[in-house]
Structure 1
Amino acid sequence: MAIPGSKSLTNRALVAAGLSRGRSTLTGVLDADDTRAMLAGLEALGVGIVRSRDATTVTVEGVAGNPPVTDARIDARLSGTTARFLAPVLARVPGTSHLDGLPPFRRRPMGPSIAALRSLGLTVIEHGATDHLPITVTGGPVAGGEVEVAGEVSSQFLSGLLLAGPAFPSGLTVRVSTPLVSVPYVEMTVEVLRWFGAELTRPDAATFVVAGGGTRAADVVIEPDASAASYLLAAAAITGGRIRVPGLTAASHQGDAGFAAVLGRMGAEVVVDEHGTEVRGTGSLRGIDVDLGAMSDTAQTLAAVAVFAEGPTRITGIGFIRAKETDRIEAVATELSRLGIDAREERDGLLIHPGRPSPGVVATYDDHRMAMSFALLGLVVPGIAIADPGCVAKTFPSYFEVLEQLRR
């Protein structure tokens, strides 16, 4: 089963290419709402973008760290990576910049990005709630400097600063002031920066030093999205089927690629090699205790699998996902409970007891991952309906068509 390209890699590579010198070509790009928001944001910064007819190949003409605009207006829509990756780039824009998103995103935190911009000497005005979009930024361009960033809400704030780092002539030193969540995503950011020739060192575990002077163009192939693949791998595990995802190999840069191993612990047969990842359902799954802090976007997927396991499943290490598109811990517990499943919120996770879901309509809370994970229940029991199924367009527009292929 072919899976769309990784959103996380796509949006990181787009930013790195947009700030580099020269022309980059990205293939295997994800075409979804989040990546379209990033492409539009980069165009608003003066980056040249040419998309292939199927939108999976993108040619990027970089701005060499100097956006040629004086009044940038960026609409991040519902995309956290767009807002949090492009906010630091506004420090390189002369004149006035505006950054906003759709109303649901205005409820999501932007404080660490705003604080970093201010510490670099820029003036940031919030036009709504404190530490939230929309914002106006003035005072650029700045040459670089040192900033601190909190790490406990999302690693995207740190990744945004690192991606912008080479664009500052004097470079950027970033110190993480609180425990960092989702570390694999930061490791992915560092790897992407190195594809484009960035120089980055870590004098200690909490400090990142990004050299200035810019980066060079690169041609990049985007691997399949491991978060998207998790739903299909889970489908095989709970139905006793088999699925293989080519390109999601043992060398994957994505932390969520580790989800297959979690299914293996539960009793599925798993093969991960240099060609891809394969999961085969065995007809028997067991509940486990698992820390998903390093692959938190798969927590809702695992919650759906846990419903069909023998024995309870406890998911830990994911307290920070309460600040995602919705409070994902509360949403999962609420919707499973409405379907008759014993699911309980815990301080940093969930405890789920298995059972047979009753028919019902699942609320999705403007969260694409709620829709995709709870749809899996309908592969096993009848009567599961998903409210606002169109929200999957954020990262996997063809999800329900792909799921229907599996049903056949």
Structure 2
Amino acid sequence: MDTIAIPTPNRPINATVEIPGSKSITNRALLVAALAQGDSILENALFSDDSQYFAKCLENLGIPITLNSHHAQIQVSGKGGEIPTQQADLFVGLAGTAARFITAMVALGNGEYRLDGVPRMRERPMGDLLKVLQTGGTTVNFEGNPGFMPYTIYGQGFAGGHIRLPANQTSQQLSALLMIAPYAQADTTIEVEGTLVSQSYVQMTCRLMADFGVEVNQNGENLFQIPAGQRYQPRNYTIEPDASNASYFFAAAAVTGGRVRVKYLTKKSCQGDILWLNVLEQMGCQIEEGDDYTEVRGPKQLQGIDIDMNDMSDLVQTLGAIAPFATSPVTIRNVEHIRYKETERIRAVVTELQRLGVTVEEFADGLKIEPSVITPAPIETYHDHRMAMAFAVTGLKAPGIIIKDPNCTAKTFPDYFTRFLQMIEN
């Protein structure tokens, strides 16, 4: 499909939905399972472009992977921190987690590993992670701009020791180092310099490491200590539904004054984006939580909000897409780092809202969106899955929204529009 027209229902949404497994947890579980000794089975794993690029990289490194998409199951035969292949060409597409996690992982190996991705991936920041590896004795050969793909890593083990790492653009580089640190040659202390963005994703990493048998000692927000010699234990592991992807379905209830229940996802989730429920509550929604579900009921009209979204920045587009329907302005702050994501996300949201006739003010670390009447228009998605998924929600309230390149959702949610349209039809 080149485009998809979003139907605007003449009634509130009323649906119960299931969401595939979390991308962030799936890719972290793939890495730690690959470093464990023995077989792990990941249940409710996400099958999407990002996770399949990751799995293919592991296969190319000599880690046996068995994919069962019908049962949403992945078996990983970990090699205890060893990387069997001594030479590999690894392609990560536009998967930031795969790019950062695989880069760190191959430093543990004893070989020559080339990494590359699509053109936009070549623009995304990798330099801070690579500097840490280089300081520890890893050789990196850049084919283009230093600090960016493509490059070749000559692995010879990870030294560990005391590491200083800026994490103001992405937390994925910190997560990558945390996950390989148990296999370092010495105890590792990571000191984060400056402001750590997306802290909830780092906590997710630490929680998953603990689930596989490795402890991280954290002192304050910016100091992490990982004793060497710990080893991940293979296990069967069930992955939570993706809270980021659930946000669009919860937003559908919010914007139409309807009811949407997402099964198997609760506020006990380890994902920071579960905080989206608090945002909706502040905007006037009612939240009901059961043992194995969460339900959102939307108000007659949403209220505006002024919010710091640093710790749930993947949801900026979701909030931006419903903000014009609020009774007062919506202001989003402290998310400058999303300018370095799949696209320049602040600029993309501002551009598309303005295309719809919305009054928007852009500033360095966020934007302010005024209540506005929507003018029908086709939405550019910039090869960014979250632009397509978020602005589809706008079309539930405003007729005439067309999403260009809807297939870009394959990055994290291949059948998003199938499930989205089923929700409308319920």
TM range (shorter): over 0.9
Q: 2 CA distance for matches of 1:388 and 1:38?
A: 23
Instruction: Say whether residues 1:164 and 2:180 are aligned partners.
Output: yes
> Once the 2 structures are TM-superposed, how far is the Cα of residue 66 of structure 1 from its aligned partner?
1.0
CA drift at 1:211: 2.1
| Structure 1 residue 53, shift from structure 2 partner | 4.4
Aligned match of 2:227: 211
Q: 2:97 aligns with which of 72, 76, 81?
A: 81
Of residues 188-197 and 170-179 in structure 1, the stretch that sits farther from structure 2 once superposed is 170-179
Q: Deviations over 1:41-64 (max 9, x none)?
A: 111222111122416111111110
- SS of corresponding position for 1:298: helix
Distance 2:131 2:276 in 1: 34
Distance 1:156 1:53, change over 3 A: closer
Q: Deviations over 1:369-396 (max 9, x none)?
A: 1111111111112211111111100001
2:189 pairs, out of 173, 181, 187, with 173
> RMSD of aligned C-alpha atoms?
1.3
**3-state SS, counterpart of residue 115 of structure 2:** strand
The reply on whether 1:45 has 2:61 as its aligned counterpart is: yes
Q: Greater CA deviation, 203-212 or 235-244? A: 203-212
2-structure distance, mates of 1:193, 1:72? 26
The separation in 2 between residues aligned to 1:172 and 1:44, in whole angstroms, is 28
Deviation at 1:218, TM superposition (A): 1.9
TM-score normalised per structure 2 = 0.93
**Percentage of pairs with the same residue:** 44
Change (3 A) 1:260 1:142: closer
Alignment of 1:118 with 2:130, yes or no, is: no
Structure 1 residue 133 corresponds to structure 2 residue 120: no
Q: What is the correspondence of 1:341-352 to structure 2 with a 5 Å cutoff? A: 341-352=358-369
Q: Does 1:5 align with 2:21?
A: yes
Q: Is the 8 A contact 2:108 2:155 kept in 1?
A: no
CA distance in 2: counterparts of 1:96 and 1:29, whole angstroms: 30
- Bigger Cα displacement from structure 2, 387-396 vs 209-218: 209-218
Whichever residue aligns with residue 314 of structure 1, its letter is: T
- Aligned residue runs from structure 1 range 164-313, under 5 A: 164-213=180-229, 214-313=231-330
Question: How far is the alpha carbon of 1:302 from its aligned partner?
Answer: 0.5
In 1, distance between residues paired with 2:357 and 2:267? 38
Q: Given residue 21 of structure 1, which amino acid in structure 2 is its aligned partner?
A: Q
Counterpart residue number, 1:28: 44
How far, CA to CA, are the matches of 2:168 and 2:219 in structure 1? Answer: 21
Q: Which moved more, 1:207-216 or 1:250-259?
A: 207-216
SS at match of 2:262: strand
1:169–1:63 distance in 2 versus 1, CA, 3 Å: farther
TM-score normalised to structure 1 length: 0.97
- 1:183 partner letter: Q
Take 1:3 and 1:344, find their aligned partners in 2: how far apart are those partners? 33
Any idea what the Cα deviations from partners look like across 1:324-366, whole Å, max 9, x if unmatched? 1111111101110011000121221110011121111111111
Structure 1 consecutive aligned stretches of length 4 or more whose deviation exceeds 6 Å = none
Which runs of 5 or more residues in structure 1 are unaligned?
Answer: none
One-letter amino acid matched to 2:137? G
Counterpart contact for 2:137–2:159, Cα < 8 Å:
no
1:60 alignment partner, SS class: strand
CA drift of 1:110 comes to 0.8
Corresponding position: 1:368 with 2:385: yes
| Conserved? CA contact 1:64–1:167, under 8 Å | no
Deviation at residue 143 of structure 1 after TM alignment: 4.5
Quote the Cα distance in structure 2 between the aligned partners of 1:40 and 1:303: 34
Aligned partner of 1:90 in structure 2 is 106
Aligned pair partner of 1:16 in 14, 27, 32: 32
How far the C-alpha of 1:170 sits from its partner, in A, is 2.8
Residue 54 of structure 1 aligns to a residue whose secondary structure is helix
Amino acid at match of 2:119: P
Structure 2 unaligned blocks of 5 or more: 1-16
Deviation of 1:139 after TM superposition, in Å, equals 4.6
Change (3 A) 1:230 1:4: same
The answer to whether the 8 A contact 1:362-1:386 is kept is yes
Contact 1:65/1:168 (<8 A) preserved: no
- Write the distance in 1 (CA, Å) between the matches of 2:71 and 2:123: 30
